[in-house]
């Protein structure tokens, strides 16, 4: 999915919602355990219930890898039913030396090799340029670089200041800006870091930001939009637990849709206030 196609979907659906598919087999409704692949069936019903309300889906790869071959098969089947008008993001947070990074890129981007063809992949920049470039080399794919994450431990290193007073996450954005473009590079910025969006937009005014932490983690959608939205929206706000686990019963898909619809309604208001729709 190109940048212009993504912006078109945001305007058409009046939404910049990304639904996380962090599907834990121990949390899916019990009646789904009768299916051959409960994880896939859960995902399929969530996708069908929310596809018109969101512009992206983001499976967290750990929830699939942890189940071995069965989990990888669930992931492949899930990827195959993701709507083509939604950005598909593999939340794998990969980052390794160049030749290894190329293999990771093939695993998630090259359908002929792995059976997966995600549009985007989260990557860790700690090992530097040669660990990120192999992902950027894939034509038509997005690399989403971890910049300022929403977890408490993110503050252990990401906000460390150097001798010039520059925080590490600022240095990451400044440096990686030159590796990709606004057409193939995004940044992960946690919604719980609302006070940092101004600084991030000063460094990356046109890049899309993938923003976890709204919903169950307590991040404010309004603050994210106030400080992080640009003229094209420039945001993909992820919600996971508040949507996919809204109910543990047979009405789980309907309840997921209700939660997604509520968030989409808030997003529409923000887009209208900005004059984007």
**Residues identified as active-site:** 93
First to last CA, the chain: 20
Quick one: angle between helices 68-81 and 38-50, nearest 10?
20
Residue 219 burial (10 A CB sphere; 0-12, 13-18, 19+)? buried
CA–CA dist 67, 73 (Å, integer): 10
CB 143 within 8 A of CB 121: yes
Strand ranges, E, within the chain: 17-20, 56-58, 87-94, 120-123, 142-148, 185-189, 208-211, 235-239
Q: Determine the 3-state secondary structure of 167 from DSSP.
A: strand
CA–CA dist 267, 273 (Å, integer): 10
CA–CA dist 22, 24 (Å, integer): 6
């Amino acid at each position: 999915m190109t940048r212009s196609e993504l912006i078109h979907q945001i305007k058409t659906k009046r939404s910049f919602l990304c639904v996380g598919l962090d599907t834990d087999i121990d949390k899916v409704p019990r009646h789904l355990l009768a299916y051959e692949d409960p994880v896939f069936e859960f995902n399929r019903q969530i996708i069908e219930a929310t596809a018109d309300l969101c512009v992206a889906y983001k499976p967290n790869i750990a929830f699939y890898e942890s189940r071995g071959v069965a989990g990888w098969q669930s992931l492949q089947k899930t990827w195959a039913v993701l709507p083509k008008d939604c950005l598909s993001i593999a939340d794998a947070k990969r980052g390794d030396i160049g030749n290894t990074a190329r293999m990771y890129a093939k695993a998630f981007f090259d359908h002929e090799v792995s059976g997966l063809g995600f549009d985007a992949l989260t990557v860790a920049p700690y090992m530097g340029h040669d660990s990120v470039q192999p992902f950027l080399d894939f034509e038509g794919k997005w690399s989403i670089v971890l910049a300022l994450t929403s977890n408490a431990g993110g503050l252990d290193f990401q906000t460390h200041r150097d001798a010039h007073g520059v925080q590490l996450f600022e240095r990451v954005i400044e440096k990686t800006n030159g590796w990709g473009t606004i057409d193939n590079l995004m940044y992960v910025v946690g919604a719980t870091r609302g006070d940092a969006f101004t600084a991030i937009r000063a460094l990356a005014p046109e890049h899309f930001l993938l923003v976890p932490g709204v919903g169950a983690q307590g991040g404010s959608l309004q603050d994210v939009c106030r400080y992080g939205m640009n003229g094209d929206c420039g945001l993909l706000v992820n919600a996971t637990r508040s949507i996919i686990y809204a109910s543990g019963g047979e009405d789980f898909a309907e309840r997921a849709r209700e939660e997604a619809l509520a968030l989409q309604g808030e997003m529409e208001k923000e887009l209208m206030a900005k004059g984007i729709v």
